[in-house]
Chain A
Amino acid sequence: MGRAKLPRKSTNIDMTAMCDVAFLLLSFFILTTKFKPAEAIAVTTPNSVAAKVAPDKDLVLITIDKDGKVFLSMDDEQVKETVANTLNNTMNLGLNVAAFKKAGFYGAPFSSLSQFLSIPEEQRKGDRLPGIPVKDSSDNQLVTWMRVIKDAYMGKKMNLLLKGDNAAKYPAFKSVIDAFKKNDELKFQMITNPESVPTGSELWKRTMSGEKREE
Chain B
Amino acid sequence: MYELIILLSKYLFLFYMIFFIWQNIKMILTKKEIFHFNQKKCVFHQYIILILFHINAFLILAFDSETTSFEPETMLVCLFGIILFTIANMVLRLTYPNSDRLIWNSILFLCDMGLVMLQRLKPELAQRQLLWLFSGFLIVFLMPFALNFIKDLSKLKYLCLLLSITMLLMTFFFGDTEGGAKNWLTIKNLTFQPSEIIKLLFIMYLVAELAKPKLKLISIIVPTFLSGVVILFLVFQKDLGSALIFFITYMVVIYITTSSNLILLLGILTSAVSSFAAYKIFDHIKIRVATWINPWQDINNSGYQITQSLFAIGTYGFFGSGLKKGLPTAIPIVERDFIFSAICEEFGIIFAIGIILIFITIFYSCIKIALVSRNRYLSVLVSALTCLMCFQTFLIIGGVIKLIPLTGVTLPFMSYGGTSMIMCFIIFGIIQWISTLNERTYQCQNKKRR
Real binding pair: no
